[in-house]
Amino acid sequence: MPPRGKKQPASLLTELALVFPLLVVYEIGAAFSDLRNGVDFLTGPLVRALGFVWFEVALIGAFIALLAFLRSRGQTVDTRRLLPVLLESAIFALSMGTFIVFLMTDILHVDPRLALPRLGLGKLALGDEILMSVGAGVHEELVFRLGLCGGGAYLLQRFLEWTPLRATIVAIVVSSIVFSAVHHVGPYGDPLRPGVFLYRVLAGIFFALLYRYRGLAVAVYSHALYDIHVMVFR
């Protein structure tokens, strides 16, 4: 029994259940739009191999199967976490950009200016901008934070017998570098400039720390809301 007064971390089932509605919204919206996100290098070949409809069915079906598996293992969903996640995420989304720009300009002395989010895409409708932001938040956090960062840290501890701290630091740094790099890949990637690349590395570290200490749902919603803030309101 946990010590009285000590807050227990939310279960993975709770985190994924809070993310699931965003996944469904994006996948439905993507069926009617030519949307892209930072993990197209992974999903693109699968879409071409399976066809778009079957890819969507397989993805949502796999997510539901994972939720059912975690439920069968005794995990439960804490719906009380939804409002705190939304409030936290809004605060992080609105403050992250300012913090990173301050860090780059005042501490690292690197130009933080980014390429336009719409580079190569032309003018997007408001609905597409929101859906694109949601897709980035869901897909990129699942791949880079849950998969590469969380999974990488586990593998380093499991097979190389690294300490949790060492494994976590390396996983955060490597996943953040890869996260930034994929935004420069392909015909719609941003031009490779030091400021652009470093900005996204720092953003990746920021999201990884949220994932590690505040949970997957906060990382996903913070990422989605940040992208909405940048694409829609700037």
Question: How far, in Å, CA of 144 to CA of 175, rounded?
Answer: 6
Tell whether the model's pLDDT for residue 149 goes beyond 80: yes
Question: How far, in Å, CA of 219 to CA of 208, rounded?
Answer: 7
Longest dimension (CA), the chain: 56
Question: How far, in Å, CA of 33 to CA of 124, rounded?
Answer: 10
Residue 88: which pLDDT band, with cuts at 50, 70 and 90? Answer: very high
**Has residue 5 been placed in a domain?**
no
**Has residue 127 been placed in a domain?**
yes
Structure tokens at 187: 């015909």
**Range of the structural domain that residue 112 is part of:** 12-233
Contact 170, 144 (CB under 8 A): no
| Residue 193 pLDDT | 86
Structure tokens at 26: 């994006």
Q: Look at phi and psi of residue 167 and say left if phi exceeds 0, alpha if psi is from -120 to 50, else beta.
A: alpha
Structure tokens at 28: 């439905």
Contact 67, 15 (CB under 8 A): no
**Has residue 38 been placed in a domain?**
yes
| Residue 8 pLDDT | 59
> Cα(first)–Cα(last) distance of the chain, in Å?
49
**Has residue 1 been placed in a domain?**
no
Query: What is the mean predicted confidence (pLDDT) over 129-151?
Result: 95
Mean pLDDT, the chain, rounded, equals: 89
Residue 7: which pLDDT band, with cuts at 50, 70 and 90? Answer: low
| Residue 15 pLDDT | 98
**Has residue 7 been placed in a domain?**
no
| Residue 53 pLDDT | 82
Which tens digit of pLDDT belongs to each residue from 27-82?
988 888 777 677 876 777 777 788 878 888 899 999 999 999 999 999 999 999 99
pTM of the predicted protein model: 0.91
Query: What is the mean predicted confidence (pLDDT) over 173-196?
Result: 88
- For the chain, what percent of residues have pLDDT higher than 90? 66
**Has residue 61 been placed in a domain?**
yes
Helix-strand-coil split of the chain, %, nearest 5:
75, 0, 25
Question: How far, in Å, CA of 146 to CA of 52, rounded?
Answer: 24
Query: What is the mean predicted confidence (pLDDT) over 174-189?
Result: 88
Torsion of CA 38, 129, 13, 156, to 10 degrees: 20
**Has residue 2 been placed in a domain?**
no
The number of distinct structural domains making up the chain is 1
**Has residue 55 been placed in a domain?**
yes
